Each structure stands twice: as structure tokens, then as C-alpha cells.
Amino acid sequence: MTTDIAKYRFNHTMYRVKDPKASLHFYTEVLGMKLLEEHHMDEAKFSLYFVGYEDPQSKGLKRLERQGLLELTHNHGTENDPACAYNTGNGENGGYGHIAITVDDLDAACERFDKLGVKFIKRPTEGRMRHIAFIADPDGYRVEILKNSAV
Amino acid sequence: MTTDIAKYRFNHTMYRVKDPKASLHFYTEVLGMKLLEEHHMDEAKFSLYFVGYEDPQSKGLKRLERQGLLELTHNHGTENDPACAYNTGNGENGGYGHIAITVDDLDAACERFDKLGVKFIKRPTEGRMRHIAFIADPDGYRVEILKNSAV
């Protein structure tokens, strides 16, 4: 028995997605994460997709040794269900807010998102906070884009 | 202008908390994270608390260079507002699910949580998945506790 809490790790954040094709396109092609693992539970009718960045710090680490991953849960059939629209957490009584991605060059990142047709919730030029943008993923989950040289 | 998406990082996950004292106790004393930064926006009436693990990989990195942090947002006054109870994402149409913490010894971790009076949503002995537990944070957000040697 060991309870070395200093060795605990924040491995992943999970949310549900309606259409994994759209979400995987967004998180890999648009945001540059890698698809690290996928698990298909055909009997229980759901699939899990683990995505994350191949940062130098995590090189050689197994999935469960890493930090900063995203687990996308797909309940089979939601992609064809017009009634499926997830509460993405920022409405009334909403508790969940967003994930944040840090980037070297915020303007370049936003220019690229525009070219890719990404939906903006807040551009750097809007509001008071000029060092951040908010974009929406295919389900509407907020993704903060944050200049890594910001204070 | 540089758009090197390979250098993007998944810096943090944000959710709102009703009472920062209760939440900071949970994330630091119970789960073993460190309080890395706090920012108090008195005029806008909110505070941000960044917590995360001091893993060997992130040693020496600045907050914005790291991965796997948690940003707890406190809107001032919610701690004294009986009507404030956040939707933690797992009810009807709930999209947000949980964060996951990996541990070396799941049984030892759960025994310690019991001693600390932590609320369990699922013990390792319940259900089919014996390598995971789910506990609740002070707002009811789910935290998966996951054996890091699991498949």
C-alpha cells in the first residue's frame, strides 16, 4: 500500500461528442493534437478517443503516465440523432467552462483558424483581453487560444 | 508569423466552483495538487486559481508552458448564495464528464479518500470496471481515479 499523492497525475479531461469524425478532424487537423488511442466498446455502444500533444516532456511516456490529454466519448448513434445536442457548460448554471491551448503566435493561429472555417466566439481584438481568443469545437465546447508569452 | 501547430500545448481545463476554500482543500490536500497561481479580479468580481501536479516533466516550466493544469473560477459571492449550484455536466444532455487522476495504488488511494470523508460515486468494487473509481469534488464534479498500470 502506497499513498504517495505527490505521484498523482492529471491524466485527462473527458467530454462527450456527437460526431467523432467532426471532433477528430477538429482536434487533430485544426488544433494539431495526435490521436493516441481509440477504444471501441461495441457491446456497450460507445467509443473513446484519446488525443493530446506530442510535447517533448511526454516523449516515451505511456498514455497513463502522461498529463494533458483529452478523452472524447462517443455514444454510438448520436451522430445521426438530430435531438442530440450536448450542453457544453456555459449556459445557465453552467459549471464547465473550456480547455485552453497555448500557442506561440496568437495572430497567426487565428488567421489559420479563419482559413479553416473555425467558428470564433471571441477574437483577440474583441473585449478587453487581447492575448486570448475563444473558438468553438464542433459541439460548441469552448477552446481558449492563449498566447504562451502572456503574463 | 508562425503557425507551428506541433508546438501547441493543452495547458488547462477550466470549471467554475462555488466555494474556493472547499475546492482548494479538495484539489491540494485531498488530491495533492499544488496551488500554482491565483489572480483576483476585484473589479470584475472573480478569482482564478491554477492548480496542478509538480511532475518531473514540468519542472522549471512556466505556467503557460505546462500541460495538465486545472483553472478553478470563482465568481465572488457564490459561496454565500444558496441558489448557486453548478451543473456539473453529467445530467440530461450533459456534455462535460470528468477529469482523471492516475495513481500508483488505487486501493490505497481509496482508503485514504475514505479517511478524508471524500464522497464516492463509484468504488473500484462496484460495476464492471475494477481499475477505476469515481469521487465527487465539493461541487459534485466527477474525478476519475485511475490505476496507472491499467491497460
Distance from CA of B97 to the nearest CA of A (A): 5
pLDDT of B22-41, one tens digit each? 999 999 999 999 999 999 99
ipTM > 0.95 (yes/no):
no
Q: What's the rounded mean pLDDT across residues A65-75?
A: 95
Res. A56 pLDDT band, cuts 50 70 90: confident
Query: Within chain A, which residue ranges are assigned CATH 3.10.180.10?
Result: 9-80, 98-147
Identify the CATH class of A98-147: alpha beta
Q: How many residues does chain A have?
A: 151
What is the residue-averaged pLDDT of chain A? Answer: 93
Distance from C-alpha of B56 to C-alpha of B104, rounded to nearest angstrom: 16
Inform me whether the pLDDT recorded for B151 exceeds 70. Answer: no
Q: Which of B92, B106, B105 is nearest to B135 (CA)?
A: B106
Grid cell 475546492 — which residue? B23
* Contact state of B4 with A104 under an 8 Å Cβ cutoff: yes
Distance from CA of A9 to the nearest CA of B (A): 5
Nearest-Cα residue of chain B relative to residue A1: B108
What is the residue-averaged pLDDT of chain B? Answer: 93
Least CB–CB distance from A97: residue in B69, B73, B99: B73
A50 forms bridges with which residues in the sheet? A37, A71
Active-site residue set of B: 144
Active-site residue set of A: 144
| Dmax (CA) of chain A | 53
- Position B83 scores a pLDDT of 94
Burial B112-121 (b: 16+ CB within 10 A, else e): bbeeeebeee
Strand order in the sheet with B9-16: A120-122, A132-136, A142-147, A96-103, B9-16, B69-75, B46-52, B34-41
Residue B78: count of CB within 10 angstroms of its CB: 19
Least CB–CB distance from A9: residue in B7, B13, B101: B101
What cell does A12 get?
Answer: 485527462
pLDDT of A1-55, one tens digit each? 667 888 899 999 999 999 999 999 999 999 999 999 999 999 999 999 999 998 8
Instruction: Name every chain B residue with its beta carbon within 8 A of the beta carbon of A2.
Output: 104-105, 108
CATH of A9-80, one of 3.30.70.100, 3.40.50.920, 3.40.50.9100, 3.10.180.10: 3.10.180.10
Instruction: Name every chain B residue with its beta carbon within 8 A of the beta carbon of A86.
Output: 93-95
- Position B2 scores a pLDDT of 65
Distance from CA of A35 to the nearest CA of B (A): 13
- Position A149 scores a pLDDT of 85
- Position A9 scores a pLDDT of 94
